[in-house]
Structure 1
Amino acid sequence: MDLSAFSEELAEIEGKINDIFRALSNGFQKLEKIKDPNRRSRQLEELTDKMRECKRLIKEFERVLKEEESRNTRDTVKLLNDKKQSMIKELNSYVALKKQQANTLDNKRVDLFDGPSAGDGFGEENVLLASSMTNQQLMDQGNQMMNETDQAIERSKKVVEDTVNVGAETAAALKAQTEQMSRVVNELDSIHFSIKKASQLVKEIGRQVATDRCIMGMLFLIVVGVITIIIVKIVNPHNKNIRDIPGLAPPANRRLLWVPNNN
């Protein structure tokens, strides 16, 4: 039912009440998942405060309804009263749920100083209710719990310290690996430079070898040519072509160093 058609003030109050009902529903669902008694207690207190606010708003709704009763018809007043009763009924359901959760929480608080459960490997003879414990026993039990808490804190500190040490060692290892990778990169650059210089040197040597081969080839051809001319001269001394070669042809008029005596 849309109350804005009857009164904007009533519609506004109804909207706030519905918001609280949604918050209560979500809050009790969340409460079922909380295992820690202290957190459950705080959550229950918050829900109780919301129920008080809801009760105040319902009273405000009833006050405005009475003020506007004379301006509304009998049917309208009946509908608004039914709406009020519906909100009261829903609030009472949350109040009953709150009492149930509170009783459960009180039962858990009674067992606060109980010994370990049988599932932890201890028998029921070690279970001692706080209501049957003397002040000295309560103090001893509290001291024992404090010692266990201190031991747990020390273990947590040890875990944190070990984690920090592992982190420092990991950072040092990463730094060493980074430096090693830098050295490897530098060595690769040096190798690349050496390979480049070696390639240039091989090219220069190849050019020198090619030049030497050309010179050797020319010398070989000259030697072969000279040897060929000598052989041809010996075999065919009357060859005019050979005579025309300077240095190989005999002189036309050769003087004899010794003239024989006719007498």
Structure 2
Amino acid sequence: MDSLSSISEELAEIDGQISDIFRALSNGFQKLEKIKDTNRQSRQLEELTEKMRECKRLIKDFDREVKDIERRNRPDINRMLNEKKQSMIRELNSYVALKKQYASTLGNKQRVDLFDGPAGGEGFGQENALLASSMTNQQLIDTGNQMMDETDRAIERSKQVVEQTIGVGAETAAALKAQTEQMSRIVNELDSIHFSIKKASKLVKEIGRQVATDRCIMAFLFLIVLGVIAIIIVKIVDPKNKDIRDIPGLAPPALSRKLLWNTN
């Protein structure tokens, strides 16, 4: 932290924010292990995901600042900053992998078993057995054929539903992919705008300090000019005033010297 402060205050500030997020992620995942309720686990996981997004944005800001100052740094300093950035990326990726692991575990817990049949199936089987015992062979054959036809129609309807579902799923996946790419571009643009605003704010502060310094210099020069003008006015009004030294160019003319032969 101190070494980064000597290189750039902006880098030191971003590094401190990233370190705070990493500590919050570590504590958050430790807390997640102790939570038993799946709903609370989901909410905790969403909060940790949001922190990871913020950390990713800060790492991008860190990378931009490094590229912005790398021309005036020594090669060893640039190498150290790049290694620092890679270390941040590796630590963030470890938390992303941990988040995927917890998300997969939660998904398995919340999966609904779709193969459970309705209660009372055994009663329907006994009733069908009683009806079959009172039928003739031809009736049994006709009933079997009818049931097979109904089963075939049900299978065809299921195939159509599956095909429609696959089509809808493909369209949804394509739309989600397009929206994800659009959101990624928007996030990158927002990150760039945020970084530009920071740089502009820093530049405005520097300009403000320079303007304040220029104003102080102008005020000092103005006071000097007023003093000179006041001395000139006093010398004009009272040229015999001995309290004010003569200003070069405004001193009274020297007495003309008489030549030696004129005196004689």
The TM-score range, normalised by the shorter chain, is 0.3 to 0.5
TM-score (norm 1): 0.44
> Max radius of gyration: which structure?
1
Identify which of structures 1 and 2 has the higher relative contact order when contacts are C-alpha pairs closer than 8 Å and 6+ apart: 2
TM-score (norm 2): 0.44
